[in-house]
Structure 1
């Protein structure tokens, strides 16, 4: 067998890490082809090549699925992972070492004084494997490959469907594409999905956190955004206009760390909102004030849906712009000048409808098409530029704040009360306590954001219509297969290996946990599901 012993698993992971697959690179495009070749070392896939399939995820990228099918079984466990990684700029000129774990640890040992004490201990202990993606999350993929091989060799009376995707670290285009194919794979192969098993690593909850976690839900992430369109003026006559930066500053002050969107479930709280990106859409430097500025805000959710968030956010922007107006008018009174106007607040849908009424749908579509076709802009920039261009055609609305959504959107999901998940939580606790003296802790909403957001969408929720109508690039360069997601009403759990410092120079994986303990735990999960 190829991937069963701890040594074999570590060698497999080192090979996966060596196939650099940073988001947006050629390596990410090539990775699934390398993986298909690796899996084809198993005679099972040589005999059944159609059981390995690539699924187009856009921009040359592909998700990969690999099916182990027992002819007498319908029950199926779907093994979910992602193979893209974040970039390696923090490695500087040594970025290539990020993909060579054996060389990287020696490099770190030579410079051990450069690291904090906790990291020094882990470097010297040889208990950790360092490298980009070693923890997040190629170890999870390696464990799934291990399960596939074991199922084949031991003829497990269950089906396993490995699904590994690109782009999780950016927009989850890979998972969104894979979800559109899952129901077809299920029907074609007469499968009954009984569990989605993700193996994202155990993330620390605070600095130096030694605890091992598993997850029965995944937190939601949504990005309410705003375009602030003011009235331009010369800097020598500042109150002859209304600076968009001035407007945006009021809103960022209101949103940053606001408790307006806070939720608490199972004793867990959503992290507070924060300004994620700030854009000045004035491209050049001049003595003219900027009349168009945009902001992206990060909001985490547990129960609130897209419509809940948008309604609350839009009202908050409206209230804040009223405060901005009052402050601005008081300045005008102090300086003895007349205000240039009253700030309005419109949703993107309202702006879209206003412009359609004024110019017709053909003109509106030409603006949208112009920006969605630009390869130099990402989906967030496209969204903001579309709204901005519409306002330039409707300047009678200025000064104006436009509320909208920018991609991506990760719906919150939770399976904590599912009977199968409760039994698996008990199994994990008993196995780890009895065999390894590890007391695991259940997190009900994985706060690292994950592709699980796209597998079990609320069957009765239609709030996504609000998301669609207020997302400028919806249906062009960004979409979410909500209808397909609603078909996947299946329990899920996230059980993965222990590591530290994801997305950092010192990203590392605990070798014993990853190559000895977690494989056995996942095998126990498989056994439980086969009953």
Structure 2
């Protein structure tokens, strides 16, 4: 077992001390700090070309990945294990009056001892078993573990057959520009150095899955994530004559009632089930106050998948949207009938019918009706929107494109348009489908069996990492049809948003997650447990590396 605790703790604190909030200058600062640190290791002084600071591609911000590798000398081999982790964090506003101490664990913990805290948090603070601070858990202690192993093998390349490549990427917390750019560098290194990528090990955080859960989890593969979005049109009317039209917010509310928290939309695979979708935004698109009902509304939902493809999700959600639309119209007519009875007016059933289509279906309809005139107009509209409103994010950009396209419809009676408006993080399962997966699973099982007797809490292996992570971008389980469902149904595809999924396919390496354990990632009291994070994680990772590259079984 490696005696790594103090070194990993030192690296962790160094990293946390650099405020590296996503989409800020801090990302650039921490990449330089990591590059300088790695460059100071003797091995990299002798081999300066083996550490790379890579600027991200097609990114509106200047930021960088850091990629470094050690070539083992124990025996000739091109086999290469990739260690990966992100350097960026979420913001620190939630630390409130302790915001200036969020990135200094020692000062923060001293200050927290004077605060009135919830019992469990106070217990962890005073136990001496946890480190608090922004990024300690998500995921700078995981990066620190990788840095330790990189440093160790740079001092001892004679202990390694094959190569160890560490990728420390930016922008994991937002749009994954980091890992998507790193794929191109990994491909270039494969061409230049002959690297044969056989496995990837991520070090993102793990947490209890329920109250009282003491297991420390390791994950093979990861959940996938989509952002299905709905543009909803109504029939505008003055609020004084409300039943003469239908408010798209009314339809949106029924849609959210149908989709949010719906267990029918949980995806079970290999005995594990995703959480159901939940609304992340719901709004109408009225720019100012008026006494007219809105012309349109916009809502999108978080959606996790294990085995479903993006195409499967479109089919399921189109069905749910049709149900919601029917329910909304039924309720509307019931209330219209009741109002008519109360006021003595004649009841006439509303004229609208449920109408749901995907963006792909909308596009085909408009191209068939208007041809090149429509295509040229929309191309110019997107280019102008990019130029004049660069601050508009991918989700609202997509909504504005659909809103503009809708103006070309001949029949503009109420409808729901279903589309994707953001990054698709692909699902990955590692189940032994091929030799690389079988070897990785075997190495992981052997590592856990070796370490478990030395650690008091159960170390449990599960199939799907339950949070969004850059693990999604080193392998691809979807076929061409599944990926086309993403590109054909994202209104911003090719302008505001684009992913080269072929780069993922070209790397296509099985990935597992062995990461630090703790509580409250993305929250004020983010903290990681020292024993597991500083000792167990590096040693488990090391045992997997040594079996995969050296054939050493513990």
Q: 3-state DSSP class of the match of 2:320?
A: helix
| Cα drift, residue 398 of structure 1 | 2.8
Q: 3-state DSSP class of the match of 1:260?
A: helix
Q: Aligned partners of 1:341 and 1:5: how far apart in 2?
A: 68
Tell me which of 481, 487, 503 is aligned to 2:506. 487
Q: 3-state DSSP class of the match of 1:283?
A: coil
Q: Aligned partners of 1:108 and 1:29: how far apart in 2?
A: 29
- Taking structure 1 as reference, are residues 496 and 29 closer, same or farther at Cα in structure 2, changes over 3 Å only? same
TM-score with structure 1 setting the length: 0.94
Q: 1:344 aligns to what?
A: 355
Q: 3-state DSSP class of the match of 1:99?
A: coil
Q: 2:376 aligns to what?
A: 362
8 Å CA contact 2:235, 2:413 repeated in 1: yes
Q: Aligned partners of 1:444 and 1:416: how far apart in 2?
A: 8
Q: 1:140 aligns to what?
A: 142
Alignment of 1:464-479 (within 5 A): 464-479=483-498
Q: Which runs of at least 4 in structure 1 moved beyond 6 Å after TM superposition?
A: none
Q: 3-state DSSP class of the match of 2:211?
A: coil
Q: 3-state DSSP class of the match of 1:193?
A: strand
8 Å CA contact 1:216, 1:445 repeated in 2: yes
- Superposed CA deviations along residues 419-457 of structure 1, whole A, max 9, x for unmatched, are 223213322321222222432111211112211111110
Give 5+ residue unaligned stretches, structure 1.
none
Q: Aligned partners of 1:498 and 1:360: how far apart in 2?
A: 53
8 Å CA contact 2:217, 2:461 repeated in 1: yes
Q: Aligned partners of 1:86 and 1:55: how far apart in 2?
A: 22
| Cα drift, residue 41 of structure 1 | 0.7
Give 5+ residue unaligned stretches, structure 2.
341-346
TM-score with structure 2 setting the length: 0.91
Alignment of 1:303-452 (within 5 A): 303-334=307-338, 335=340, 336-337=347-348, 339=350, 341-356=352-367, 357-358=369-370, 359-373=373-387, 374-394=389-409, 396-417=411-432, 418-452=437-471
Q: 3-state DSSP class of the match of 2:122?
A: helix
- Taking structure 1 as reference, are residues 514 and 338 closer, same or farther at Cα in structure 2, changes over 3 Å only? closer
Q: Aligned partners of 1:395 and 1:124: how far apart in 2?
A: 67
Q: 2:84 aligns to what?
A: 80
Q: Aligned partners of 1:368 and 1:165: how far apart in 2?
A: 30
8 Å CA contact 2:419, 2:490 repeated in 1: yes
Q: 3-state DSSP class of the match of 1:179?
A: helix
- Superposed CA deviations along residues 341-400 of structure 1, whole A, max 9, x for unmatched, are 434222112222333342431101122223334222111111111111221343632312
Q: 1:24 aligns to what?
A: 23
Q: 3-state DSSP class of the match of 2:255?
A: helix
Q: 3-state DSSP class of the match of 2:240?
A: coil
Q: Aligned partners of 2:326 and 2:537: how far apart in 1?
A: 55
| Cα drift, residue 309 of structure 1 | 0.7
Q: 1:235 aligns to what?
A: 239
Asked if 1:503 corresponds to 2:503, the answer is: no
| Cα drift, residue 13 of structure 1 | 0.9
8 Å CA contact 1:367, 1:390 repeated in 2: no
Give the superposed CA RMSD: 2.0
- Superposed CA deviations along residues 274-330 of structure 1, whole A, max 9, x for unmatched, are 111112211212211112111001111100011111112122212322332333344
| Cα drift, residue 472 of structure 1 | 0.8
Q: Aligned partners of 1:194 and 1:341: how far apart in 2?
A: 57
- Taking structure 1 as reference, are residues 157 and 202 closer, same or farther at Cα in structure 2, changes over 3 Å only? same
Q: Aligned partners of 1:519 and 1:254: how far apart in 2?
A: 45
